[in-house]
Amino acid sequence: MFGDPDTRHPIPNEGWAEQMDEGEIAVFCVNFKSGTPVREADGRPGPPTDEVCRVSNDMAELERHAQEIVRLHPSVVCVFRTKSDREIKRISNRRFLWRFALTSYLGIGMWLVAVTAFGSSIWVLRALIIRSESTFSLKQWIALLAGGAVIGVSSVVSWTWFSVLRRTRQFATGLRKALTPEEKQRYDKIDSLSVSTDPEDRRTARELLKEYQQRLEQIRRETSKGGT
């Protein structure tokens, strides 16, 4: 009932609704942050050809199964959907999500304090040089801190954006030059094969995807050496 390989294979995502009866529920496992499909066994993302869901008409049993999954793999969220693709429920590890949210907000706060201090120091030094005074009113301090936050955040975001954009363009250029027309035609088949209802097509897509990822890693290494 839950996709045990010895009894009934899990249903591929591309055909799940067609194989469901009215009143049955499908459970999908996704990453809590990105919403992308993950594997039940280890809570990690896999190739599209491995995306499956579990189908049953026993809601209580599905909920118990989902609770066990999120206990073993806290980063997984179990999404319950009907045959019409309507989401009816989500089960997640709330303790993990609250802890992650708290850590994230603390990290954001620390970064904001750091960039505000960086930007404010520029304003303060400029104001001290122009005014030749060491005292500021409350409004002036608020303005300095606000301006510093804007300068600091803008500087970090701009540096990150252009740095990532430069590396992305460099890799894209290397990819276009390195892949032959025959390779492009070969790897273009991955998308169509991965959503096929034929298990043999999905197996072929999985092999092509593995080969493609290895080729990308090779190109990435060559591009990095060339840039250095």
Do 72 and 180 lie in one domain? The reply is no
Q: Is residue 144 situated within a structural domain? A: yes
pLDDT tens digits, residue range 192-204? 787 676 778 878 8
Residue 18's pLDDT is what? 80
Do 112 and 172 lie in one domain? The reply is yes
92, 116, 137 - which closes a domain: 92
More confident residue, 100 or 50: 100
Q: Is residue 30 situated within a structural domain? A: yes
**CA 25/CA 21 separation, integer angstroms:** 9
68, 92, 116 - which closes a domain: 92
Q: Is residue 4 situated within a structural domain? A: no
Model confidence at 12, pLDDT cuts 50, 70, 90, reads low
Domain total of the chain: 2
Do 187 and 204 lie in one domain? The reply is yes
Do 205 and 106 lie in one domain? The reply is yes
Going by C-beta distance under 8 Å and a sequence separation of 6 or more, which residues neighbour residue 161?
none
pLDDT tens digits, residue range 174-194? 788 888 888 888 888 887 787
Could you give the percent of the chain with pLDDT greater than 90?
Answer: 15
Cα 224–225–226 angle (5° rounding)? 90
User: Which structural domain range is residue 80 located in?
Assistant: 11-92
More confident residue, 96 or 146: 96
**Pairing outcome for strands 76-81 and 87-91:** antiparallel
Residue 65's pLDDT is what? 92
Q: Is residue 1 situated within a structural domain? A: no
Do 71 and 107 lie in one domain? The reply is no
Q: Is residue 3 situated within a structural domain? A: no
Do 69 and 133 lie in one domain? The reply is no
Do 197 and 152 lie in one domain? The reply is yes
The structure's pTM equals 0.53
Do 156 and 200 lie in one domain? The reply is yes
Do 132 and 204 lie in one domain? The reply is yes
Cβ(219)–Cβ(175) under 8 Å?
A: yes
pLDDT tens digits, residue range 83-109? 888 889 999 999 998 998 888 888 877
Do 105 and 215 lie in one domain? The reply is yes
51, 74, 92 - which closes a domain: 92
Q: Is residue 6 situated within a structural domain? A: no
**CA 228/CA 222 separation, integer angstroms:** 10
Do 117 and 190 lie in one domain? The reply is yes
Cα 216–173–208 angle (5° rounding)? 25
Mapped to the 3 state alphabet, what secondary structure does the chain carry?
Answer: CCCCCCCCCCEEHHHCCCCCCCCCEEEEEEECCCCCECCCCCCCCCCHHHCEEEEECCHHHHHHHHHHHHHHCCCEEEEEECCCCCEEEEECCHHHHHHHHHHHHHHHHHHHHHHHHHHHHHHHHHHHHHHCCCCCCHHHHHHHHHHHHHHHHHHHHHHHHHHHHHHHHHHHHHHHHHCCHHHHHHHCHHHHHHCCCCHHHHHHHHHHHHHHHHHHHHHHHHHHHHHC
**Pairing outcome for strands 52-56 and 87-91:** unpaired
Do 123 and 20 lie in one domain? The reply is no
Q: Is the pLDDT of residue 74 over 70?
A: yes
